[in-house]
């Protein structure tokens, strides 16, 4: 359905950042509106890492996937 436009390093960084943001929310470290923003951003980062596809990358023509040499 979607063509991958994120490389392994990009996906790993997003996954780690997403887990940290979600954990901060559930541990109560970040609360209120900032907490909800952290949760939403964390979920988006985890989703894009899992899918390997980032909509803004598509719009901007960015691709961090490594290219295979023939």
Euclidean distance between CA atoms 17 and 51, whole angstroms: 16
The tens digit of pLDDT for each residue in 16-32 reads 999 999 999 999 999 99
Q: Note the pLDDT of residue 69.
A: 56
Identify the sign of the CA torsion 65, 66, 67, 70: negative
Residue 65 confidence class, pLDDT cut points 50, 70, 90 = confident
Euclidean distance between CA atoms 47 and 69, whole angstroms: 29
């Amino acid at each position: 359905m979607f063509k991958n436009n994120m490389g392994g390093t990009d996906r790993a960084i997003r996954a780690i950042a997403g887990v940290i943001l979600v954990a901060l929310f559930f541990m109560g470290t970040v609360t209120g509106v900032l907490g909800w923003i952290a949760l939403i951003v964390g979920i988006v980062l985890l989703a894009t890492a899992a899918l390997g596809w980032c909509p803004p990358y598509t719009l901007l023509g960015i691709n961090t996937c490594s290219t295979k040499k023939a």
